[in-house]
Amino acid sequence: MQTEVLDDIDDPSLRAYVAWVPVLPEDVEAPDEETTGIVPDARARHFWDGEGHLPKLFHSVLGLPADWPAWDVYLIYPPGATWGETPPSPLYWEHQLGELPNAPYLNGERFAARLRATLGGQPRT
């Protein structure tokens, strides 16, 4: 996402929220600087959800199968989206979870095009 989205879309209103959650056995503490350096863009904010609340919150919002946690998901929300106790449904999302019928597998170029449209920008030529 850094390369195909953040490096390529210079809109200063764009924000990226990167949530790190403990899904794999080795995910026992907040990511270090080397790990968060995967997304170094100044518009990105990194969060550690050590209790794993976010995958549960997004599970139903995204309509995932019962045994699939919501991780490795990429969501687009419009400017000014408001959040309550549970997250709102995204305008668009992609994932790296395997085969799902309700959202496409992550493709950076397609995701960036959708994000540009949401921000009101024109597609690249």
For 15-67, the pLDDT digits (tens) are 999 999 998 899 999 999 999 999 999 999 999 999 999 998 999 899 998 88
Of 39, 13, 7, nearest to 47 by C-alpha is 39
pLDDT of residue 91: 96
| Full domain range(s) for residue 88 | 2-119
In a domain, 63, yes or no: yes
The predicted model gives 95-122 an average pLDDT of 90
Tokens representing 86 are: 């549970």
pLDDT tens-digit readout, 76-108: 999 889 988 889 999 999 999 888 888 999 999
Does the pLDDT at position 124 exceed 70? no
Q: How confident is the model at residue 121 (pLDDT cuts 50, 70, 90)?
A: low
Checking if the pLDDT of 68 tops 70, the result is yes
Domain count, the chain: 1
User: Taking residues 117-122, what's their average pLDDT?
Assistant: 80
Q: Which of 109, 31, 117 is nearest to 76 (CA)?
A: 117
pTM of the model: 0.89
Residue 124 in any domain: the answer is no
Residue 125 is predicted with a pLDDT of: 41
Nearest to 49 by CA among 69, 78, 77, 75: 69
For residue 67, being part of any structural domain is answered with yes
Distances (CA, A) of 119 to 6, 14, 49, 77, 93: 13, 8, 28, 10, 15
**Residue 125 belongs to a domain:** no
Whether residue 73 has pLDDT greater than 90: yes
